Amino acid sequence: MSEENRPLFSCSGVHVFIGEKEIVKGVDLAIPHGEIHAIMGPNGSGKSTLVAALMGHPAYTLEGRVFLEGEEITALSPDEKARKGLFLAFQYPVAVPGVTVASFLRAAVTARRGEEVSVREFRKQLLTRMEELEMDAAFASRYLNDGFSGGEKKRLEVLQLRMLEPRFALLDETDSGLDIDALKVVAKGINAAAANGTGILLVTHYQRLLNYVKPDVVHVFIDGRIAHSGGAELALTLEERGYDWLEQQAAMGGA
């Protein structure tokens, strides 16, 4: 397979179980270099479960296969996947009290690059990226996600996306809970990452973010499956018509 037509990220036959319960019921994705894909779907349809399982969350059992740049990464541990360039922006980022944003990011950047970064260079890059995301410099010395507002957490996820420069990023509702100004800043960060060559899978509940980050393909996710895929215009249809028509279709066709 040549470099050009090999997808940047792909998965096939992905089922995800929590215990005995099947949450994701067969997902295939192939996302070429330079594309942004969006997954939209109602609450509880299994979007977060899918992306967490792709990242390797230990509480989930994943069946199927996952590839990054043609290399199978299915069985790798989450930290190995991350070092190979997979990234997950969490819907609900976890607080780690006592660990500052700066020290955490330095450890993460070092792990991702596989070599020490000089303090000077790291500081410089961190400040530039924070400025880009309109974050106050004092942010760096706060404890990781500890007492952060919803908006601050989302900004920090995007800051990590920019600092770690992954090959492919799964962004889980990185738009939720943001006011319009914050949404624009977050979108700017995502677009900058995409322009820098990071492939993107956006998971979102609303089409709002898609006004600022233009997807090439929109997948509609219903009850653990991709029920429908289309172009950017599909997001607008969903905005107008909701998910009901697809849910009905899925219920009938899924038999």
Partner 1 sequence: MSAEAIPRVQLDHIAQLSQAAGEGEFLRRMREEARALLDPLVLPDRARHLWRYTNPAQLLPAHDPTEPLPLPLPGEWRQEDPAAAAVLVAGGAIRLVELSEEARRAGVVVEDLHRSQAAELVGSTVPARHGLFEAINAAAWRGGVLVRVPRGVELEEPIRLRLLAGPGGRVAVPRVLVLAEAGSSFEILEGHLGGESGAQVVGVSELLVEENARVRHALIQRWEEGVSGHLTTRARVASGARLQLALASFGGALYKADVGAELVGEGAEVATFGVAMGGDRQRFDHHTEHHHLAGKTNSNLDFKVALADTARSAYTGLIRIAADAPECEAYQENRNLLLSRGARAESIPELEIANQNVRCSHGATVAPIDPEQLFYLASRGLPRSQALRLIVYGFLDQTLARLPESTRQRLEALVAARLHAE
Ligand X SMILES: Nc1ncnc2c1ncn2[C@@H]1O[C@H](COP(=O)(O)OP(=O)(O)O)[C@@H](O)[C@H]1O
Binding site for partner 1 (CB under 8 A): 55-59, 77-79, 81-83, 87-88, 90, 93-94, 96-99, 103-104, 107-108, 111-112, 143-144, 160, 164
Among 7, 27, 46, 243, binds ligand X (CB under 6 A): 46
Nearer to partner 1, 105 or 227 (CB): 105
Q: Which of residues 79-138 bind Mg ion (CB under 5 A)?
A: 91
**209 within 8 A of 218, measured Cβ to Cβ:** no
Q: Does 108 help bind ligand X (rule: CB under 6 A)?
A: no
Q: Which of 48/145 has CB closer to Mg ion? A: 48
Which one of residues 48, 174, 176, 204 is an interface residue with Mg ion (CB under 5 A)? Answer: 48
Q: How far is the CB of 175 from ligand X (least distance, A)?
A: 13
**How far apart are CB 120 and partner 1 at their closest, in Å?**
22
Which C-beta is closer to partner 1: that of 125 or that of 237? 125
Encoded one letter per residue, x for contact with ligand X by CB under 6 A and - for no contact, window 14-43 reads: ----x----x-----------------x-x
* Residue 79 binds which of ligand X, Mg ion, partner 1, none (CB < 5-8 A, kind-dependent): partner 1
**HEC string for the chain:** CCCCCCCCEEEEEEEEEECCEEEEEEEEEEECCCCEEEEECCCCCCHHHHHHHHHCCCCCEEEEEEEECCEECCCCCHHHHHHHCEEEECCCCCCEEEEEHHHHHHHHHHHHHCCCCCHHHHHHHHHHHHHHCCCCHHHHHCEECCCCCHHHHHHHHHHHHHHHCCCEEEEECCCCCCCHHHHHHHHHHHHHHHHCCCEEEEEECCCHHHHCCCCCEEEEEECCEEEEEECCHHHHHHHHHCCHHHHHHHHHHCC
Report the residue number, 175 or 247, with the smaller CB distance to Mg ion.
175
Binding site for Mg ion (CB under 5 A): 47-48, 91
